């Protein structure tokens, strides 16, 4: 039988929320003492092309990474990229999760993104067994999965697509036919203003936006078994694991709900698992990214601001504006990636945003942030750790990391991340940044980034770009053909591109 992931490979994307440095930060908040990320051991189950694992291996050359996947085609692809990027700290295994044995050893981080709900029950149980048997005492496992109640409606649309696509064998035709059905349903429900039509249109709108590969694997494949959160937590406990929290800790915080909801959940729930379950009912949650630890680990859910002092603080994106007035009389507004606007008059937060904006795309150790804030305000603010923690918990404005993310400016002979160079040289549409985010490449990037190996200065880069056949240089929408004008335009394009790579975190020098 052919492997569906060989037929339609999964998109090559990094998942910032799975970064071992972020997971170690969450563990630190919950009172655990995770080992240093720079020397950690990471196992990824269902690593596919290594879109998540390989950039991590490049970021931490003294750490060890093992990826396992059942798709021969994807593992071969990951292996090719690892070799092209000269990574010697990663092992990629074409193997079934069911066959993982004691020989794999212990890991500080086990990652399993996008697998649990999409594999048969014995594999699901084995994933939890692997976490229990292969985690070090302070290790953390990340497992993502689809949840109810949100997946009841989502599952209905999936059932409709699968019913229709079942008549077609070829994967591409199945995708095309599923999309045709979505179009038909959207049209058929256009005038239905009742609850069914409204719900259906909302879900159709979401599914129609998905990439072919995501639509195929999430909605057309045979297995997609969501479960309620309490069922996941019970299953984990039966396998010798304890629920630690969510990778995005902010989603756990009842204070982000209205006081009425908070009071209601407090009255209904007797423990953190029940609290989470009732909150899922309230928000119709569809997806979770849960962290598990060994049953003998003893997390403390009362997060203390002092834990932040051991971490590095960063921004989720560069702020659009920069507050210059730190007095408590003026309000500054910051947009978060999820579209929230945080308004604050707190001098410490405004000053922290300024210091972190200057560190972008890197992070600052808390002590450095504290010193920077004191410098801007003229005195230290004893409440800074609490301000940082509360902002981190209440929004996605700030990030916490256990290891630093460096900011690298454009060097004399610019160098880009080796995995990004290898991916783009192989014709991929983008690559992971140092912030472990996906950078979608332009046509220029696909030619330029592979050249950034630290051996060429700006003039040599422009020379090489000028020699790239078929690369169109335009000015005001018209092609530039005169050789001198083309070279000058290319020079400007290379300069802008290098600044952009520094800004998104694609450079190593
Ligand atoms: C939906 S993809 C997710 C890939 C990647 N982790 C992500 O989230 O983008 C599921 C992956 O798990 C792999 N997989 C499924 N069952 C497996 C098994 N029993 N053993 C090893 N890998 C498996 C598939 O080959 C595929 O690459």
The residue segments making up the domain with residue 357 are: 305-401
Asked whether the bond before 361 is cis by omega within 30 degrees of 0, the reply is yes
Q: Give the mutation target among 1, 70, 111, 215 for probing the ligand 1 site: most ligand atoms within 8 A of CB.
A: 70
pLDDT at 1: 54
Q: How far is the CA of 116 from the centre of ligand 1 (A)?
A: 9
Q: How far is CA 263 from CA 18, 228, 278, 280, in A?
A: 32, 22, 12, 15
Q: How many helices and strands, by DSSP H and E, does the chain display?
A: 19, 16
Beta strands 41-45 and 64-69, pairing class:
parallel
pLDDT at 73: 93
Closest C-alpha residue for ligand 1 atom 24: 46
pLDDT at 254: 64
Q: How far is the CA of 83 from the centre of ligand 1 (A)?
A: 21
Is it the case that residue 470 has pLDDT exceeding 80? no
Atom of ligand 1 nearest to the CA of 48: 27
Q: Give the mutation target among 48, 53, 212 for probing the ligand 1 site: most ligand atoms within 8 A of CB.
A: 48
Mapping DSSP to helix (H, G, I), strand (E, B) and coil, where does residue 273 land? helix
Atom of ligand 1 nearest to the CA of 98: 19
Contact 160, 220 (CB under 8 A): no
Going by pLDDT thresholds of 50, 70 and 90, the confidence category of residue 130 is very high
Closest C-alpha residue for ligand 1 atom 17: 70
**For 388-400, how does the pLDDT look when each residue is reduced to its tens digit (9 = 90+)?**
999 999 889 999 9
Structure token pair of residue 264: 């209601």
Q: How far is the CA of 392 from the centre of ligand 1 (A)?
A: 31
* 323 and 383 together in one domain: yes
* 46 and 172 together in one domain: no
Spatial CA neighbour of 508 closest among 432, 424, 411, 439: 411
pLDDT > 90 fraction of the chain, expressed in percent and rounded: 82
Quote the radius of gyration of the chain (alpha carbons, Å): 24
Q: Which residues line ligand 1 (CB under 6 A)?
A: 5, 10, 46, 48, 68-71, 74, 96-98, 113-115, 118-119, 123, 217
Residue 140 counted as domain residue: yes
Structural domain ending residue among the three candidates 220, 240, 259: 220
H or E stretch covering 44: strand 41-45
Backbone φ and ψ of 337, nearest 5°: -60, -30
Structure token pair of residue 90: 């990663």
Q: How far is the CA of 308 from the centre of ligand 1 (A)?
A: 34
pLDDT at 446: 95
Closest C-alpha residue for ligand 1 atom 16: 119
Mapping DSSP to helix (H, G, I), strand (E, B) and coil, where does residue 145 land? strand
Q: How far is the CA of 103 from the centre of ligand 1 (A)?
A: 21
**For 201-223, how does the pLDDT look when each residue is reduced to its tens digit (9 = 90+)?**
999 999 999 999 889 888 888 88
Closest C-alpha residue for ligand 1 atom 10: 115
**For 362-417, how does the pLDDT look when each residue is reduced to its tens digit (9 = 90+)?**
999 999 999 999 999 999 999 999 999 999 998 899 999 999 999 999 999 999 99
Give the DSSP letter string of 282-306. Answer: HHT--EEEEEEEETT-----S--GG
Cα 455 to chain centroid distance, Å, stands at: 31
Contact 350, 323 (CB under 8 A): yes
Structural domain ending residue among the three candidates 204, 220, 236: 220
* 43 and 112 together in one domain: yes
Structure token pair of residue 41: 């051991």
Residue 412 counted as domain residue: no
Q: How far is CA 81 from CA 7, 304, 438, 504, in A?
A: 20, 42, 16, 21
* 440 and 490 together in one domain: yes
Q: Give the mutation target among 11, 18, 46 for probing the ligand 1 site: most ligand atoms within 8 A of CB.
A: 46
Atom of ligand 1 nearest to the CA of 126: 19
Q: How far is the CA of 168 from the centre of ligand 1 (A)?
A: 23
Q: Please report the sign of the dihedral spanned by the C-alpha atoms of residue 334, residue 336, residue 341, residue 346.
A: negative
Q: How far is the CA of 97 from the centre of ligand 1 (A)?
A: 9
pLDDT at 22: 98
Residue 170: which residues within 8 A CB-CB, separation 6 or more? Answer: none
Going by pLDDT thresholds of 50, 70 and 90, the confidence category of residue 340 is confident
Going by pLDDT thresholds of 50, 70 and 90, the confidence category of residue 255 is low
Residue 309: which residues within 8 A CB-CB, separation 6 or more? Answer: 366, 367, 385
The whole-chain average pLDDT of the chain stands at 93
* 286 and 422 together in one domain: no
Closest C-alpha residue for ligand 1 atom 27: 48
Atom of ligand 1 nearest to the CA of 3: 25
Residue 116 counted as domain residue: yes
Q: Give the mutation target among 18, 55, 115, 213 for probing the ligand 1 site: most ligand atoms within 8 A of CB.
A: 115
Residue 495: which residues within 8 A CB-CB, separation 6 or more? Answer: 458
pLDDT at 64: 98
* 391 and 323 together in one domain: yes
Structural domain ending residue among the three candidates 401, 430, 452: 401
pLDDT at 74: 94
CATH of the domain at 87: 3.40.50.150
Atom of ligand 1 nearest to the CA of 144: 8
Residue 237 counted as domain residue: yes
* 208 and 239 together in one domain: no
Backbone φ and ψ of 164, nearest 5°: -70, -45
* 138 and 158 together in one domain: no
Residue 42 counted as domain residue: yes
pTM: 0.93
Residue 9 counted as domain residue: no
**For 61-102, how does the pLDDT look when each residue is reduced to its tens digit (9 = 90+)?**
999 999 999 999 999 999 999 999 999 999 999 999 999 999
pLDDT at 251: 86
Mapping DSSP to helix (H, G, I), strand (E, B) and coil, where does residue 45 land? strand
Closest C-alpha residue for ligand 1 atom 3: 114
* 41 and 70 together in one domain: yes
* 103 and 208 together in one domain: no
Is it the case that residue 234 has pLDDT exceeding 90? yes
Residue 300 counted as domain residue: no
Residue 136 counted as domain residue: yes
Whole-angstrom distance, CA of residue 40 vs CA of residue 140: 11
Mean pLDDT across 326-333: 92
Atom of ligand 1 nearest to the CA of 119: 16
Whole-angstrom distance, CA of residue 68 vs CA of residue 354: 42
Is it the case that residue 253 has pLDDT exceeding 80? no
How many degrees, rounded to 5, is the angle at CA 152 between CA 149 and CA 153?
120
Mapping DSSP to helix (H, G, I), strand (E, B) and coil, where does residue 71 land? coil
Q: Number of structural domains, the chain?
A: 4
**For 437-453, how does the pLDDT look when each residue is reduced to its tens digit (9 = 90+)?**
999 999 999 999 999 99
**For 114-127, how does the pLDDT look when each residue is reduced to its tens digit (9 = 90+)?**
999 999 999 999 99
* 323 and 336 together in one domain: yes
Atom of ligand 1 nearest to the CA of 9: 27
* 309 and 446 together in one domain: no
pLDDT at 262: 86
Is it the case that residue 5 has pLDDT exceeding 70? no
Spatial CA neighbour of 78 closest among 99, 105, 48, 103: 48
pLDDT at 10: 66
Structure token pair of residue 197: 């039509």
Q: How far is the CA of 10 from the centre of ligand 1 (A)?
A: 9
Mean pLDDT across 52-57: 98
Atom of ligand 1 nearest to the CA of 71: 25
Give the DSSP letter string of 452-472. Answer: -BSS--HHHHHHHHHT-TT--
Closest C-alpha residue for ligand 1 atom 1: 114
């Amino acid at each position: 039988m052919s492997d569906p992931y060989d037929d339609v490979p999964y998109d090559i994307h990094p998942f910032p929320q799975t970064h071992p440095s972020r997971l170690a930060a969450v563990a630190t908040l919950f009172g655990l003492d995770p080992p240093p990320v720079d020397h950690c051991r990471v196992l990824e189950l269902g690593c596919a092309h290594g879109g998540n694992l390989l950039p991590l291996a490049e970021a931490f050359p003294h750490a060890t990474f093992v990826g396992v996947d059942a798709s021969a085609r994807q593992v071969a692809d990951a292996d090719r990229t690892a070799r092209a990027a000269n990574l010697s700290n990663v092992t990629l295994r074409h193997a079934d999760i069911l066959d993982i044995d004691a020989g794999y050893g212990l890991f500080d981080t086990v990652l399993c993104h996008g697998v649990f709900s999409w594999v048969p029950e014995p594999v699901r149980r084995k994933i939890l067994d692997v976490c229990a048997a292969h985690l070090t005492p302070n290790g953390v496992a990340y497992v993502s999965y689809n949840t109810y109640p949100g997946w009841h409606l989502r599952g209905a649309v999936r059932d409709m697509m699968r019913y229709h696509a079942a008549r077609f064998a070829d994967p591409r035709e199945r995708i095309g036919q599923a999309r045709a059905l979505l179009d038909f349903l959207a049209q058929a429900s256009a005038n239905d203003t009742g609850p069914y039509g409204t719900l259906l249109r909302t879900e159709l709108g979401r599914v129609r936006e998905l990439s072919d590969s995501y639509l195929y694997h999430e909605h057309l494949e045979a297995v997609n078994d969501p479960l309620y959160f309490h069922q996941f937590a019970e299953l984990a406990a039966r396998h010798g694991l304890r629920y630690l929290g969510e990778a995005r800790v902010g989603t756990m915080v009842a204070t982000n709900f209205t006081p009425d909801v908070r009071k209601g959940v407090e009255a209904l729930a007797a423990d953190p698992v029940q609290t989470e379950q009732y909150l899922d009912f309230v928000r119709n949650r569809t997806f979770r990214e849960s962290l598990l630890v060994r049953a003998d680990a003893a997390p403390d859910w009362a997060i203390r601001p002092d834990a932040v002092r051991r971490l590095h603080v960063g921004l989720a994106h560069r702020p659009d504006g920069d507050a210059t007035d730190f007095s408590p009389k003026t309000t500054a507004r910051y947009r978060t990636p999820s579209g929230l606007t945080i308004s604050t008059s707190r001098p410490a937060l405004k000053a922290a945003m300024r210091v972190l904006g200057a560190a972008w795309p890197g992070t600052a150790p808390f002590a450095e942030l504290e010193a920077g804030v004191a410098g801007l305000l003229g005195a230290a603010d004893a409440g800074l750790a609490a301000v940082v923690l509360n902002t981190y918990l209440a929004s996605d404005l700030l990030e916490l990391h256990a290891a630093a993310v460096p900011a690298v400016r454009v060097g004399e002979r610019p160098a880009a991340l080796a995995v990004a160079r290898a991916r783009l040289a192989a014709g991929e549409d983008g690559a992971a940044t140092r912030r472990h985010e996906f950078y979608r490449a332009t046509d220029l990037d696909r030619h330029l980034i592979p050249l950034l190996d630290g051996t060429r200065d700006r003039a040599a880069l422009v020379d090489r770009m000028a020699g790239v056949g078929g690369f169109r240089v335009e000015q005001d929408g018209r092609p530039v053909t005169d050789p001198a004008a083309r070279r000058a335009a290319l020079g400007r394009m290379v300069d802008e591109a290098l600044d952009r790579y520094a800004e998104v975190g694609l450079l190593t020098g």
